[in-house]
Amino acid sequence: TTLPAEPSTPAVERTLVLVKPDGVRRGLSGEVLRRIEAKGYTLVAVELKQATTELLAAHYAEHEGKPFYQPLVDFMLSGPTLAVVAEGQGVIPGFRSLAGATNPTEAAPGTIRGDLGRDWGLKVQQNLVHGSDSTESAAREIGLWFPGL
Ligand code: UDP
């Protein structure tokens, strides 16, 4: 018989990380990759991509109709995005911890948004990175950004 895995041993999983156009423009792509690797996660795929309206409509479907939706889409269309698939035990919540709170002013020092982000007084938070928030979102988002993976 096979014993169930220990609860302290989370399954190896994959998450979708995006270095958003502000991060790429500011030359912080390498810094984000460095933090992912320094944490001990593995890079599975890395690609610089220009997002399309269709891709963003699918990626941000849950936010459609919210006041920041159109500014968010316009921001995400404003330049290339570095799309990354990272792998490791607990990488989905783990990368969210590395990223920090959505609002960079509130994000804790030591996090990507806390160390490198700020409020620019815009209609949308330019907060450098995206990370999937659940197993289901990760599978869906990886399928959207890396259809071949
Ligand atoms: N966003 C914003 N204002 C808000 C909420 C969200 O500008 O009040 C933007 C921000 O760029 C955020 C993205 O929309 O990263 C997606 O929002 P979500 O709530 O999914 O935050 P995240 O998971 O990225 O922290």
60 CA closest ligand 1 atom index: 16
**Among 68, 102, 133, which is best to mutate for testing ligand 1, by the most ligand atoms less than 8 A from CB?**
102
pLDDT of residue 78: 98
**DSSP assignment, residue 42?**
E
Q: Please report whether residue 120 resides in a domain.
A: yes
Q: pLDDT at position 2, please?
A: 76
| Total structural domains within the chain | 1
Distance 97 CA to ligand 1 centre (A): 15
SS (H, E, C) 53-99: HHHHHHHCHHHCCCCCHHHHHHHHCCCCEEEEEEEEECHHHHHHHHH
Instruction: Find the helix or strand (DSSP H, E) in which 48 lies.
Output: strand 42-49
Residue 5: inside a domain:
no
For position 7, what pLDDT does the model report?
65
Cα 37 to chain centroid distance, Å, stands at 15
Strand partners, 129: 19
pTM for the model: 0.94
The answer to whether the CB of 70 is under 6 A from ligand 1 is no
CATH of the domain at 140: 3.30.70.141
Using one digit for the tens of pLDDT, what is the confidence trace for 66-95? Answer: 999 999 999 999 999 999 999 999 999 999
Burial of 25: CB neighbours in 10 Å, binned 0-12, 13-18, 19+: middle
Predicted confidence at residue 3, as pLDDT, reads 73
In a domain, 33, yes or no: yes
Count of C-beta atoms within a 10 Å radius of residue 53: 11
On whether residue 112 sits in a domain, the answer given is: yes
Residue 1 lies in a domain: no
Q: Whose CA is nearest to atom 11 of ligand 1?
A: 125
Which residues constitute the domain of residue 125?
12-145
Which residue's CA is the nearest one to ligand 1's atom 25? 102
The alpha carbon dihedral of 138, 143, 144, 149 has a sign of positive
**Structural element, H or E, at residue 135:** helix 135-145
**Residue 95 pLDDT:** 98
Q: Is residue 105 part of a domain?
A: yes
Could you report the average pLDDT of every consecutive run of 10 residues in the chain (149 residues)? 71 97 98 99 98 98 97 98 98 98 98 98 98 98 96
Domain membership flag for residue 54: yes
Does the residue 45 lie in any domain? yes
For residues 88 and 14, give the distance between their C-alpha atoms in angstroms, rounded to a whole number.
7
CA of 71 to the centre of ligand 1 (A): 11
